[in-house]
Amino acid sequence: MLELITSRWWVFLVRGIAAIIFGLAAAMWPQITLPVLAILFGAYALVDGVFALAAATSALSGSRWFALLIEGLLGLTVAFYIFTQPALGAVALVYAIAFWSVFTGILEIVAGVQLRDLVSNEWLYILAGIVSIAFGVLVVRYPEAGALAIVWVVGFYAILLGIAQIALSLRLRQVYQKVHGAQAA
């Protein structure tokens, strides 16, 4: 199981990079409209969903693949909904982002708790889950916030999530190298 998860450390790295790119794009162009943000978010959810599914399939022989599978399917569902409903109103997008974030955060916390037996610093994935949940709750609490505020919050959230995912990927890579170094000796 350790071999399967750590050998796919790069999947978490790509997910983190995608989140940071999305967050920086939102921060650099805060005047973009909510429909453009919807397209960017849909693209991010699609990439994140695909890579979550890739991570899940790399660990199918173990018992910890289910949370990543659900996270990946949820990301793909959100992306499909956003791309097939281009007239999606601002309120619907705000709530879609909020609920996706809360659900993803719960699954990230579950995955982080399950990783605690395999790697140290699993708190990074748990932290990503807490950030996701906090973001979702804030968006639900203040849906009337202007598009500019939503863009900034979404960008900040994506950057924090990306940093946590990259940190986790680097830790998984370290474990992978230690395991392979120990096997070679």
Kindly report the CATH number assigned to the domain that includes residue 179: 1.25.40
What would the mean pLDDT of 35-39 be, rounded to a whole number? 75
Distances (CA, A) of 125 to 16, 35, 94, 158, 161: 11, 30, 24, 14, 9
Can you give the residue range of the structural domain that contains 42?
A: 2-184
Number of separate domains in the chain: 1
Please answer whether residues 63 and 4 qualify as being in contact, where contact means their C-beta atoms are separated by less than 8 angstroms: no
Place of tokens 């790399």: 58
Q: DSSP secondary-structure letter at 64? A: S
pLDDT at 38 > cutoff 80: no
Per-residue CA distances from 59 to 6, 9, 49, 100, 174 (Å): 10, 12, 16, 23, 18
Q: Where are the beta strands (DSSP E) in 19-139?
A: none
Range picked from 22-31, 108-117, 125-134 for highest mean pLDDT? 125-134
The pLDDT score that the predictor gives to residue 61 is: 44
Lowest mean pLDDT among 7-16, 53-62, 123-132: 53-62
Mean of pLDDT values over 80-86: 80
pLDDT at site 122: 77
